[in-house]
């Protein structure tokens, strides 16, 4: 999987600024720039939020075709399947991108989880149409982010993180989130966040719940209950999503054989990997590689 810096280099061949830390980015975008992102969609460990300001954009997200027009917000989560299929010539938007690690370390994320059942970690609402006032507010915050990113200041990166946290908190409080708040105990929040931090380090070698439960000093049943309570998904869902993301990336970006990829991801054999991939993606790994 690409991090933000690697994805930017692949698409643009250089960094936005000489002292960019590669963690967060906000930019205005158009149709040409948006189509280029098809090279990295689904293979990038980042969250992104795109506010359409002019024209229209059509994409396929997790098998569903969605069309975005002015004041629509598109939210992308790491590893989600996205393909840009059409855009008007006058399409314009603002896009805020933050690396997965940065998002989890933002001071507001734990509060966001408390407000809603994991709106940052499990962003499933891909399309929202914002009221005009909210769209203007969000656009202003993104423009401020762009201005700040070009500022020469010793604490610029820290200010950008605070502004990113502010934007995420603002998005969580939008009207369509109303009525979804529920209380989650701080112990459950801590356990969930610890599991999410562990997963990228160990998922290729460990596909079983017990490994994560043992390292977190809880039972598999308790870990499963907490993850479902916080995120509405199972531990296995998270492990499988990470595995299929990594498999897609390796099939797309490497020359490794299917057998070698199965070995890198610690499947028992090629057949079990192919069966898993086919179940998750709807086609065998070799066909997936040819289709890309």
Q: Is the pTM here over 0.95, yes or no?
A: no
Given 118, 149, 177, the domain boundary residue is: 177
Each residue's pLDDT expressed in tens, for the chain with a length of 292 residues: 677 777 777 777 766 665 777 788 899 999 999 998 888 776 777 888 999 999 999 998 867 899 999 999 998 877 667 889 999 999 999 999 888 767 666 655 544 444 433 444 444 467 889 999 999 999 999 999 999 988 888 888 889 888 888 888 787 776 654 444 444 556 787 888 788 878 888 999 999 999 999 999 999 999 998 888 877 778 998 899 889 888 988 888 889 999 999 999 999 999 999 999 999 888 899 998 888 6
- 156 and 110, same structural domain? yes
117 in the same domain as 161: yes
CA–CA separation, 112 vs 120, rounded Å?
7
**Tokens encoding 63:** 């098998």
Mode of pairing for the β-strands spanning 24-30 and 64-68:
unpaired
Rounded alpha-carbon distances, angstroms, from residue 263 to 198, 251, 260: 21, 13, 5
Q: Three-state SS for 144?
A: helix
The secondary structure of 57-118 as a DSSP string is EEEEETTEEEEE-TTEEEEE-TT--EEEEEE-TT-EEEEEEEEHHHHHHSTTHHHHHHHTTS
Q: Which of 150, 177, 204 is the last residue of a domain?
A: 177
Q: What is the CATH number of the domain that holds 260?
A: 1.10.10.60
Residue corresponding to tokens 């820290």: 158
Query: 201 and 149 share a domain?
Result: no
Q: How far apart are CA 46 and CA 77, in angstroms?
A: 7
Q: Tokens in use for 251?
A: 């099939």
The CA distances from residue 136 to 40, 130, 241, in Å, are 29, 9, 35
CA angle, residues 282, 47, 248, in degrees to nearest 5: 30
211 and 264 assigned to the same domain: yes
Please tell me whether residues 141 and 259 are part of one structural domain. Answer: no
* Number of domains, the chain: 2
Residue 231 CB contacts under 8 Å (≥ 6 apart), including other chains: 117, 118, 121, 122, 192, 238
How many CB atoms within 10 Å of residue 189?
Answer: 18
Residues 71 and 159 in one domain: yes
Distance of CA 17 to the CA centre of its chain: 23
| 3-state SS class at 28 | strand
Is residue 160 located within the same domain as residue 83?
Answer: yes
CB 97 within 8 A of CB 167: no
Parent domain of 61? 4-177
Is residue 24 located within the same domain as residue 167? yes
> Which of 149, 177, 205 is the C-terminal boundary of a domain?
177
């Amino acid at each position: 999987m690409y991090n933000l810096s690697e994805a930017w280099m692949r698409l643009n061949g250089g960094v936005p600024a000489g002292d960019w830390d590669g963690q967060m980015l906000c930019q205005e975008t158009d149709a040409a720039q948006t189509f280029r992102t098809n090279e990295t969609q689904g293979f990038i460990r980042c969250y992104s939020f795109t506010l359409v300001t002019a024209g229209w954009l059509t994409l396929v997200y997790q098998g569903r075709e969605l069309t975005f027009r002015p004041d629509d917000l598109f939210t992308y989560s790491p590893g989600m399947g996205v393909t840009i299929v059409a855009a008007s010539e006058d399409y314009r938007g603002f896009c805020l991108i933050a690396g997965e690690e940065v998002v989890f370390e933002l001071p507001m994320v734990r509060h966001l989880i408390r407000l809603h059942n994991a709106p940052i970690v499990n962003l499933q609402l891909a399309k929202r149409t914002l009221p005009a006032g909210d769209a203007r507010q969000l656009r202003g915050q993104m423009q401020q982010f762009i201005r700040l990113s070009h500022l020469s200041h010793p604490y610029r990166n820290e200010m950008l993180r605070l502004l990113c946290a502010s934007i995420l908190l603002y998005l969580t409080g939008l009207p369509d989130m109303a009525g979804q708040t529920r209380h989650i105990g701080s112990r459950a929040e801590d356990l969930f966040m610890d599991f999410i931090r562990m997963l990228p380090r160990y998922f290729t070698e460990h596909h079983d719940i017990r490994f994560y439960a043992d390292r977190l000093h809880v039972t598999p049943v308790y870990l499963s209950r907490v993850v479902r309570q916080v995120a509405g998904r199972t531990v296995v869902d998270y492990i499988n999503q990470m595995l299929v993301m990594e498999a897609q990336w390796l099939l797309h970006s490497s020359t490794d054989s299917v057998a070698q990829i199965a070995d890198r991801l610690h499947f028992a054999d090629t057949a079990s990997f192919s069966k898993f991939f086919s179940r998750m993606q709807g086609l065998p790994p070799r066909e997936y590689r040819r289709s890309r």
